[in-house]
Amino acid sequence: MNWTDEGIVLSAKPLAEKSIVLSLLTKENGLHKGVMRLTKRTGSVEPGNHVHAIWKSRLSAHLGTYTIEVNDTPIARIMTQSKCILLLKTITTLVDMLLPERHSYPIIYEYVKEICSSLHNLSDPLFDYARFEHLLIHEMGFGFDLSKCALCKKVTELVYLSPKSGRGACYTCGHPYKGKLFTYPWGFFDDTISIDKEQKNKRILEMLKITGFFLSEYAIKQVRASEKMPTIREQMLEAFN
């Protein structure tokens, strides 16, 4: 059995003296791993690289082997931007850690491909990273219900988010319990809202506090119960702040 696909390098772990286990996020085949022999002709396997991949195996259930051709090396464009390198590696680490293998996530694939390839030109990389975490949570089935207040069904003045249910709450219903709720940066992804840089940075940190909680308490605990949030995420946030 074999297939050909495009993919993004997530990780490359040593297997033997001249072999690695290569983990790719592919467009059609999802997160997929395979053994790859290292030769003088082997292309770079840096995280974030976009590759053309051929996977072969006698049986579909086997680990199989990879042959790749590198199409793009985004990390080469940000070698002097240590913060962006940390951001890129945080993205690839979380995807490699959380997505189930061999299940296609086309929306996540396209966004990860876009952010990796354009990271050197992004005006506000941390905002785009926050969008990534929000998207990852949603695509994994842990998304928020922000359509109306969970208590009174009101659709306006929604300023809080429950950490237990992921549902929104209006000011009137939520304020008495504000110590137990997140303050949600409503309209976070609305590009028509004009705010100054300081306010935008505050909203980004509010969003990352929320997405970090849901990734740790729901996504990671369900998929990798014995593990915690990768330390590279904290290192990246410290670098940006």
pLDDT at 72 over 70: yes
pLDDT at 5 over 80: yes
What does the DSSP assignment read for the chain?
-EEEEEEEEEEEEEEETTEEEEEEEETTTEEEEEEEE--TTPPP--TT-EEEEEEE-SSTTS--EEEEEEEE-GGGGGTT-HHHHHHHHHHHHHHHHHSPBT---HHHHHHHHHHHHHGGG-S-HHHHHHHHHHHHHHHTT---B-SS-TTT---SSEEEE-TTT-BEEEHHHHGGGGGGSEEP-TTTT-TT----HHHHHHHHHHHHHHHHHHIIIIIIHHH-TT----HHHHHHHHHH-
pLDDT at 79 over 80: yes
User: What is the pLDDT at residue 149?
Assistant: 96
Q: Tens of pLDDT along 82-134?
A: 999 999 999 999 999 999 999 999 999 999 999 999 999 999 999 999 999 99
Question: What average pLDDT does this structure show over 51-77?
Answer: 94
Q: Tens of pLDDT along 132-156?
A: 999 999 999 998 998 999 999 999 8
Q: Tens of pLDDT along 158-171?
A: 999 999 999 999 99
- How far is residue 84's CA from residue 91's CA, in Å, rounded to a whole number? 11
What's the sign of the alpha-carbon dihedral 71, 136, 99, 108?
A: negative
Spell out the domain ranges in the chain: 2-142+186-240
Q: Tens of pLDDT along 170-227?
A: 999 999 999 999 999 988 887 777 788 888 899 999 999 999 999 999 999 998 888 9
Residue 114 in tokens: 């876009």
- How far is residue 103's CA from residue 114's CA, in Å, rounded to a whole number? 20
pLDDT at 40 over 80: no
Residue 48 pLDDT class (50, 70, 90 cuts): very high
User: What is the pLDDT at residue 138?
Assistant: 95
User: Phi and psi dihedrals of 70, rounded to 5?
Assistant: -80, 125
The CATH class of the 2-142+186-240 domain is mainly beta
Residue 41 pLDDT class (50, 70, 90 cuts): low
